[in-house]
Every structure is written in C-alpha cells, then in structure tokens.
Chain A
C-alpha cells in the first residue's frame, strides 16, 4: 500500500488542480502538490486525469510541477491529546503552527496533529491470550481530568490478543498491543488514523430519550433536543447563532464538545480559546476546556479545508462516542461549508442546481446529520452524538436552499428572529417559527422532576400563541379595545417573554438556568396567569395586578435567585398567591 505514485500538474484554477500520471490513485486519496508539497485530496478521476482539491494557498503552483501520493486517504489521527486542542480544517494543530511560523499561517507546513513526544499513563484492562473483537476495550489513559480515554480495538480488527504492554507511560507511537487476526498480526498503538469521510461503524441505532440539558430556558422547556439528536439554528447576521452555540458548548451536559468554527470569524475562536480555560463546569469544578476539541477554519483560511472541517470534527466526535461518551458537535456555520462546496463545484464546472449550489448539496447535508445519533457502540456501551448546526441564510430569508434542505434533515429547528434580536430579546429564538420533534421522546425524563411538566409547558406555550393571535388584532385597534381577560393575556405573555424566554448570556446568574429553576419560574408564571385571570374575571383590573410589586418582581427571579437557592422561588410564589388573592373586585379603579 505504501507505494509512491508520482505525476505532474497540468492546470491550476484556484485550489482545483488537474494532474496526470498518478496511475492507480483512488478517490479521496491524499496528494502532495508542487515543491511545497501542499496537501490536497483527489476528488475526481477522469481517465488519466486526477483532479485534486488543494487545502492550502497554492499561488505559484505551475503546470509541470510534481505531484506525489502514498495512496492513503485523507484521515484524522485519533488518540489521546485531542482534548483541548485546536486544529484547522485538515487537523493541523494551530498551536504548533504558531510556534513554527508565528502569527500567520504559512503554506506547506506539516505537523503531527498529536504530540508524538507526550507520554501517557496507560493502564491495560485485558490480558494477553484474550479473544478481542472490534471495539473491545483493551486499556485506558486519563486524557484530561474530565476525560478517561478508552483504548478500543479499531473497527474491522478482531482475533487473539498476543501481547499487551504493562501499565506505564507510552507515547502514541509506541506499540501497545498485538492482535493475531485472520489477516495477520495487527499492532495497536495509543493513536490510529481514520478516513475523514467514512463514518465510524456502530452496532445499532437507538431512539434518543435523554434531553441534552442546555441551561437555556427557551430550548430546554419549549424546544428541547435529545442527546443524539440534530438541530439547526438558522438566522440572519447578528441574530445570535454563535452566541447560542457558545452557550450550549459551555453549559450543555454532554461529556465532550467538538466546536467547529467553519468559515466564521477569527475573533470568535479566540473568544472560545480565552474563555474556556477560565470557565468552570459547575458539575465537576473543572475548566470547560478539558472536555473540548476545537476546529477552526475561519473565513480567511483556505476554502477547501473549510469543506473538510465538518468531517474532521464529526469523525473526532465519533471516536469519543465509541468510548461510550455523549458528544455534542457545534458547527458554525454550515452555510459557509455549503458555500465552499458551491465554490469548488463551480470550479469543477458542475451544473448548478438552485442558487448555484451543486445538485448533491442535499445529499451531503443528509449524510452529515446522519452521523448524529444514539447508538450501541461496537464495545457494547451506549454513546451518542448531537449535532447542532448554524445556518446563515442570505438576507435572513429561510426559503433559500441550505435552510430548506437542512430543515428536512434535522428534528429540531431553532429559528432566530430578526425583530427579537433588534429589540435585544436574546436568545432570539422565535416561539412561533421554531419546532422540535423530541418532546415525546424526552417527556419521561422531565416527568421525573415534575409529573406535570408537559401540561405546564403547553399551558404557558398557549399563552404565547394566544398573545400572537391577539397581537394581530392589537395592531389594528390598539390593546385598550380588547376585553380585560384578553388584555390580561397580553400582560402575562409579556411576563413570559421577559421573565422566562429572554436570557442574558452575560449575566453570571442567568447564563445557566437549571431544569429545577426553569420549572419554578414556569410555575410562577402559570400561577400569575391562572389566579390573576380569575381575579380579572371577577372584576379586578389588569392595572391593579400589574401594579403589584410581586408581579414586577417576576422578571427579576432569573437574575436575582441562583440555581442553588430555588427554595426562594417557592417563598415568592406563596407571596404572589396571597397578594393576588387579596385583591378585591369592587375597587376604586386606578
């Protein structure tokens, strides 16, 4: 397999290079191009011509320049040391690059994704002579204080373990175990390659049933996503896609986060890089960086590598899933990935379908989201991948191809609303246009906390829907023309928006809201609505209720009461109930 193929460049059109002479090369093999040995991938074969997509700046490349290939597919190196790393789209370590060539990314630089010198403390868990199948656990390494790295027999390998290293420290290049397989001996190390474009296999797919708790009220309560699910966050510029992804990456209860900055801003990655080592995960007291892997192929980095970046990210996610972890993948933004696809397709002369995108856009999107899911892994443990993709529709118009196709393949759709964002109502997730298909899957989990959960949620949702309907009327006649009961609905809906839906990511108290606290604020709102409505029906004016100190207090619960102190919300509810009851009908009228 390690045969060197050589050929030469015959034409260069941006990152698309045509070559001849690489006989026997396969689709998706790596080719190194020109005197700088730029990394490329064979993306099309036509008779003797191999078309190569180059992942680095290739200015200066000439027809006649040499192309070589070892006949290996474009792959990701998987092993201990991934956690807390930051890579470009083709898994080159950005820290290493900055050490090697300073603040700018020079072309032609080749570095191993994992530190080959680092020693890892390996503990064997099977002994030699054992029969091992694919996915079998052979040992473990404490990769970070949060992540126990399980060394598994790779897919496709099984046989008798003939040797295993004793406990001790090893680099990723030292032999760890030997398996006698039907196809000969297989030598296992702490790290192994896997082709980026090939999904890692698992035993069976299962139906997701645990919510990914995000601490974001509008998501957890109204549009929840299950672990192993898929979600899209479409929204025009500045509506809060990245902030939402950051909030989820920080506070969601997955074990591992893979954050893919795909064609977005450099400073946003810097933000993650400076924040995550400092932010502490309340559940374990450790910095968030210890469960995070970052892929940054920002908008000014080579476009073809942007196209690969999401596969690099999701392959890393699958690797940890196979160890039995719950992994959340954030891809910001899948639209930039689709644009990369479009740009490359157009340089290849592919016939465009809608808006210049190639006809295979939908297939590629489907394949990507299909890599999410709750599975029984080869090792027998459950593991899951949740994929949350931002979508950036041109002009904020959701009828464009990427949003439309994505909405077919995801089961959770968090539509961001420009009007809400303009009014600085964040997260600007529209309660009218968003949807989730996971409610019934995860209902049981919530019922453990509160048997009434779904009813309460639906009742509060109804206030919002009713408000939306009434707003159409108000637009024509003004709110004073409505009967008091309807005016009261408007008032309560306003409270739901300000006290519950709106959540400030910069507020130390409010940035993460525990499920228990969410339930209590929700209950307070429902109390205000139900008891208040009784009073309004009995003749109490809406103004009087609105003037209650307790009513205006509601909006401050989220920021003044911490997740640990929720008992205080119960006390508050008692006061609210008493105050509401104490109002009497034939009052003077304000």
Chain B
C-alpha cells in the first residue's frame, strides 16, 4: 500500500532469520524482497514486527548474506503464486517458479499460498470410494476421494513405490472425471523425485501433473512453503476448475525438521523432541487443505508420506500427523524383511472415512464386516504368534494352529501383491473370503449369518 522503501543493512542474521531495524509501516506476515551484495533476489516474510524492528524468515536461506550491503524491501502482500490450468505438465521449485527451463505461465490469477481455512459448514463429507487396486488399502483401509491418508514409513521401505502405484492405479468406479496428480518433494534426494517423475510418465499422467521440488540441496526453509504452494494450485484446480486432485507430499518429516530449525533460531520454547509447541496447528494448516466443498465438483485427496525416525510411531511427526489425518497406512519392518510388498501393517493402519464410502451400492454389502473380521482375526494371529514364541508351536491348541495358518495366508496371499498388479474390489473381497474360510465358521462373529451363508467356502480355501 505505502510506497516501497528500501532498507539497507541488517541488524542481525540467525539461521534462516534476518533482523531489520528502523523500519516503518511494515505489517505482520508481509512479503520481503532481499537483495544481497551481488544483487541476487531472495524472498522472505515477516514473523514479528514492532515499532523499530522486523524479524524476517528468508525462504532461500541466509547463506551468503551479510549484515552490510543487503537491501531489503517490504512489498506488503502475502506470498502469492500464479495459478492456471496450464501449470500442469510442468516442474517448479518450492516457491512455484518454473525450473524446467520454460517460462512462467502467463495468468493474472494469483493466490495466497497460505490459503484460508475452509468453513466446516461448507464442506461436503467425502464418500466416494477410490479403487487403488491394492488389497490392503481397498479391502481394509479404503481411500476416499477428499481424504487425507498418510503413509507412515521407515527408512528404506517402499513408501515411494506404494504412492506411485496409487497414483497410477487410482480410479473411481462410478464415473469418469478429470483426474490430476500434484507431487511435492521436500528435502528428498533427486533420485526419489526422478522415480516419481518417471513413474508418472510411464503411466501417462505426467502431462497433467504438476511437480514442486525442494530437494535435499535447497535451503531447508523453502520446504516450509513447498506443500503450501502445491496445495494452492491444487485448491484452484479442484475448487475452481472442478478437477479431482491427488496430492502427494513427501517427506513430511523433512518439513517438520525445517520447522524445528526455524523455531529454534527464533529462540522459542520447544515442546517434545525440540519441535515447536505449534507443530500440531502448523501441520493442520497443511493437512486440512484436503476435502470437498458443498456444491463443488472437484476434490483434493492428500497422501502425505513421512518416515518415522527409528520406526517409532510415537515420534512427534507421525503422532501429530495421525491426530490430524483421517487414518494412516503404516508400513511394517517385519513384513518388509519377509519380502512382502506392499508391507502394509495389518493392525495400526486405519482409514476413518472408510465407513461411509463402502458397502451396498458403493463397493459390496459384506465389505465392512469382512474388513472388521480380518482385523479381528489377524489381531488374534499376532497374539498367538507371541505365545508360540514362548511355548513353542507344538504346544498350541488346534484352533490356535488354524489361526497361524490363516495368518500366513493373509500375509502371503491377501497382502502380498505385485507392483504392477491392479486388483478390483471384488477380487480383493473374494481373496479376503478365501482367507476367512480357513477359519472355522463360528470364529466369524463379526459377520452377518446371511453373508457367511453366501461367501464362506471352506472347501475352496483349503484347495
């Protein structure tokens, strides 16, 4: 609003922050242009302002900046990116600037990357089943259009392959609608990004995907904007252009580490493991940008990926994520070591929106009960295995032994499938019944009797 004044000289630099003194008329959250001695431009944002001083975070990092000779202009509006349909098929950095050599898309539609909170009244409750072709997901942890369903992984496990398989195979059974993928990489290595780009290319979706990269060698603070930039384009495409957008964010652990870095350079009081107390609210401002709107056609489905440090699900990053997202797909080291792909853990995985997206008219009437029974029976397998480890398998009761057989079959036949294998929901449920049919009929107490009548087939199972 006011004329842009250029300030020279900083009063201090700490981590990704710079401090500018003697300012006037600077607003909280204003965008800042910073030019170093060589004239190179960086972007920042004010975090705190008082009558003399502004604290500014610099998205490109402060490396190479000096107190003297740095020129700062407060440009006074929040960080915005251009949005347009034509942005699909391109590659950008974390701030939304093209890095594929082609020029920026020309449009006058600009959107604030921080978005605005969606009014809960204006949301449409998500109900449409997405078939991913992966039994462990479709059968037991169903993904719904407009859901936020993260993958909790550990280092070395195939979370990227699973996400790529979802991106490739995901489809809606009821209708053909415009579908796009937006991929945002925060602090991952180039080969991870390459893997996604290649796999999107192979499946022919690359031309209508947008890719935002803030790789391991970019300044860590840029990672804080990257998911927001990606989601801003997603919101435009979904809610203004009526498209169905799948947003893959990887790796949210890197994002959180960048936030921790920023917080500690501001000298804030940390909560658990040095992460700031507002990590929950900050993550929510990313994850809650998924969903559907009343009266709108499009949707944003989020599949964030995060690696659990030392496979610890109670680490603040997976923990707070789980408190915000609508379930989680957890990868299990033990299954991975057995060579099972996808190593999706049977018990801690959960899809909370599953209940309203499945059943008669959506998938199949028996779906909910089959899933509940598989979970309950597999939980029993886990208990029996723990017992067998102590007393020895021979000491188990006959029924317990049957359960062990069921457990192995469940992992080897139901869970295990090929990276290229795309199972229909009927196939998935039928395999589920084949597994359940290994158990005595009376053990299926979560399933209605008429469905047992219809689908229970012990002869076929033992064959």
Chain A residues with a Cβ under 8 A of chain B? 10-14, 18, 57-64, 86, 94-95, 97-98, 102-106, 236-238, 261, 263, 265-267, 269-271, 273-274, 296, 298-303, 336, 339, 342-343, 346, 352, 355-356, 392, 394-397, 422-425, 474-480, 498, 504, 506, 552, 555-556, 559
Q: Which B residues lie within 8 Å of A395 (CB)?
A: 314-316, 319
Residue in contact with B272 in the complex, picked from A105, A267, A300, A355, CB distance below 8 Å: A355
- Name the contact of B28 in the complex, choosing from A62, A102, A238 (C-beta under 8 A): A62
Per the bound structure, the CA–CA distance linking A359 and B204 in Å amounts to 57
Query: How many angstroms from the CA of A10 to the CA of B51 in the assembled complex?
Result: 6
Q: List 5 A-B contacts (CB under 8 A).
A: A12-B28, A60-B27, A62-B25, A475-B387, A476-B391
Residues of B within 8 A of A (CB): 24-30, 47-51, 76, 78, 114-126, 146, 239, 268-272, 277-278, 280-281, 284-285, 288-289, 291, 293-294, 296, 314-316, 319-320, 322-324, 326-328, 347-348, 350, 352-353, 355, 368, 372, 375-376, 379-380, 386-387, 390-391, 395-397, 442, 445-446, 448-449
**6 further interface pairs, Cβ-Cβ under 8 Å (given A58-B28, A296-B121):** A59-B27, A61-B27, A102-B122, A104-B119, A425-B376, A480-B395
Taking A62-B27, A552-B445 as contacts, is the C-beta distance between A94 and B48 under 8 angstroms?
no
In the bound complex, how far is the Cα of B115 from the Cα of A552, in angstroms? 55
Q: Which of B115, B314, B323, B347 is in CB contact (< 8 Å) with A392? A: B323
Q: How far is the CA of A270 from the CA of B292 in the complex (A)?
A: 11
For A355, what are the chain B residues with a Cβ–Cβ distance below 8 Å? 271-272
Quick one: closest A residue to B350, CB to CB? A238
Q: Which chain A positions have C-beta within 8 A of B314?
A: 394-397
Q: Is the CB of B29 within 8 A of A299?
A: no
Residues B281 and A298 in contact, CB atoms below 8 Å apart:
no
Rounded to whole angstroms, the CA-CA distance of A103 and B391 in the bound complex is 60
- Inter-chain contacts of A265 with B (CB < 8 A): 288, 324, 326
Whether the pair B121, A12 counts as a contact (CB closer than 8 A) is: no
Q: A266 and B324 in contact (CB under 8 A), knowing A12-B50, A61-B27, A342-B277?
A: no
B347/A478 in contact, CB under 8 A:
no
**Secondary structure call for the A interface:** mixed
Which chain A positions have C-beta within 8 A of B322? 236-238
A62 contacts B49, C-beta separation under 8 Å: yes
Query: Does the CB pair A97–B119 fall under 8 Å?
Result: yes
| Cα distance, A134 to B448, chains bound together (Å) | 58
Which of B268, B293, B445 is packed against the most chain A CB atoms within 10 Å? B445
Contacts of B125 in A (CB 8 A): 267, 270-271, 274
Q: Which residue of A lies closest to B28 (CB)?
A: A12
Distance of A355 Cα from B277 Cα, bound (Å): 9
> Which of B268, B288, B448: most chain A CB closer than 10 A?
B288
- CB of B50 within 8 A of CB of A11, answer yes
B393: min CB distance to chain A, Å: 10
Contact residues in A for B124 (Cβ distance below 8 Å) = 270
Note all chain A residues with C-beta closer than 8 A to B372.
424, 504
A504: chain B residues at CB < 8 Å are 372
- Given A103-B239, A263-B281, A422-B347, A479–B397 Cβ distance below 8 Å? yes
Identity of the chain A residue whose Cβ is nearest the Cβ of B319 in the assembled complex: A395
Chain A residue numbers with a CB within 8 Å of B114 are 59
A478 near B396 with CB under 8 A, answer yes
- Is the CB–CB distance between B117 and A423 below 8 Å? no
Chain A residues contacting B268 (CB-CB under 8 Å) are 346
Q: Are the C-beta atoms of B120 and A478 separated by less than 8 Å?
A: no
- Taking a contact as CB atoms under 8 Å apart, the answer to whether B278 and A303 are in contact is yes
Q: Judging by beta carbons under 8 Å apart, are B387 and A474 in contact? A: yes
Q: In the complex, what residue of chain B is closest to A58 when comparing beta carbons?
A: B28
Question: Are B284's CB and A299's CB within 8 A?
Answer: yes
**Interface pair B323/A267, CB less than 8 Å apart:** no
Given contacts A63-B51, A103-B294, contact A299 B28 (CB under 8 A): no
Question: Which among A11, A60, A103, A299 is the interface contact of B30 at CB below 8 angstroms?
Answer: A60
Closest CB-CB distance, A583 to chain B, in whole Å? 17
Q: Which of B114, B123, B285 has the most CB of A within 10 A?
A: B123
Number of A-B contacts (CB under 8 A): 212
Report Cα–Cα, A273/B120, bound state, in Å: 9
B112 to chain A, nearest CB (A): 9
With A64-B25, A273-B120, A300-B285 as known contacts, state yes or no: A556 contacts B445, CB within 8 Å. Answer: yes
A475 touches B386 (CB 8 A): yes
A339 and B281 in contact (CB under 8 A), knowing A104-B117, A299-B288? yes
CA distance A294 to B124 in the complex (A): 17
B28 touches A267 (CB 8 A): no
* Docked complex Cα distance between A473 and B442 (Å): 26
Smallest beta-carbon distance B377→chain A, Å? 9
Q: Given that A59-B28, A238-B352, A552-B445 are contacting pairs, would A104 and B271 also be in contact in the complex, using a CB cutoff of 8 Å?
A: no
Q: Which A residues touch B289, using CB under 8 A?
A: 300
Q: State A11–B51 Cα separation when bound (angstroms).
A: 6
Asked, given contacts A11-B50, A270-B123, A346-B268, whether A103 binds B118 with beta carbons under 8 Å apart, the answer is yes
Task: Evaluate contact between A98 and B121: CB separation under 8 angstroms.
Answer: yes
Q: How far is the CA of A273 from the CA of B123 in the complex (A)?
A: 10
Q: Which residues of B contact A105 (CB under 8 A)?
A: 116-119
Tell me the minimal C-beta distance from A418 to chain B in angstroms: 8
A343, B269: Cα distance in complex, Å? 9
B327 touches A238 (CB 8 A): yes
Q: How far is the CB of A113 from chain B (nearest CB, A)?
A: 14
Q: Which residue of A lies closest to B442 (CB)?
A: A552
Are A346 and B386 within 8 A (Cβ)?
Answer: no
Q: Verify A300–B319 contact, CB threshold 8 A.
A: no
Q: Is the CB of A506 within 8 A of B121?
A: no
Bound CA span A127–B114, Å: 57
B49 touches A298 (CB 8 A): no
Who on chain A is nearest to B272 by CB? A394
| CB-CB nearest in chain A for B353 | A267
A339-B386 contact, Cβ under 8 Å, with A97-B119, A105-B119, A424-B375: no
Give CA–CA (A339, B372) in the complex, Å.
34
| Cα distance A424–B373 in the bound complex, in angstroms | 9
Q: B352 — which chain A residues lie within 8 A by C-beta?
A: 238
Neighbouring A residues of B368 by C-beta, 8 Å: 506
The residue among A270, A300, A346 with the most chain B CB atoms within 10 A of its own CB is A300
Q: Contacts A86-B120, A265-B324, A274-B125: A60 and B29 contacting too (C-beta < 8 A)?
A: yes
Neighbouring B residues of A263 by C-beta, 8 Å? 280-281, 284
Chain A residues with Cβ below 8 Å from B442 are 552
Contact A478 to B387, CB < 8 A, known contacts A60-B28, A102-B122, A238-B328:
yes
Q: Are B271 and A103 in contact (CB under 8 A)?
A: no
Nearest first, the 7 closest Cβ-Cβ pairs linking A and B are: A59-B29, A11-B50, A423-B379, A395-B314, A299-B284, A237-B322, A104-B116
Alpha-carbon separation in the docked complex, A296 to B123 (Å): 13
With both beta carbons as reference points, the residue of chain A lying nearest to B50 in the complex is identified as: A11
CA distance in complex: A105, B116 (Å): 6
With A59-B78, A475-B390 given, is the CB distance from A266 to B316 under 8 Å? no
Query: A478 CA to B281 CA in the complex, in Å?
Result: 47
Q: Give the docked Cα–Cα distance between A474 and B387 (Å).
A: 8
> Measured between C-beta atoms, what is the minimum distance from B439 to chain A in Å?
13
One of B117, B272, B396 near A301 (C-beta < 8 A): B117
Q: Which residue of A lies closest to B351 (CB)?
A: A238
Q: How far is the CA of A339 from the CA of B114 in the complex (A)?
A: 21
- Which residue of B25, B78, B326 contacts A267 across the interface (Cβ within 8 Å)? B326
**Which residues on A sit within 8 Å (CB–CB) of B326?**
265, 267
Q: Is the CB–CB distance between B355 and A506 below 8 Å?
A: yes
Which chain B residues lie closer than 8 Å to A423 at the CB level?
Answer: 347, 375-376, 379-380
Report how far A58 CA is from B49 CA in the complex, Å: 12
Q: Which residues of B contact A394 (CB under 8 A)?
A: 272, 314, 316, 319-320
Closest to A476 in B: B390
Other-chain residue from B278, B285, B397 in contact with A343 (beta carbon distance below 8 A):
B278
Asked whether A94 lies within 8 Å of B121 as measured between CB atoms, the reply is yes
Complex Cα gap A401–B115 (Å): 33
* In the bound complex, CA of A261 to CA of B123 (Å): 15
Task: Give the docked Cα–Cα distance between A559 and B30 (Å).
Answer: 59
Which one of B25, B122, B323 contacts A103 once the chains associate, using CB atoms below 8 Å? B122
A443 CB, nearest partner CB in chain B, Å: 32
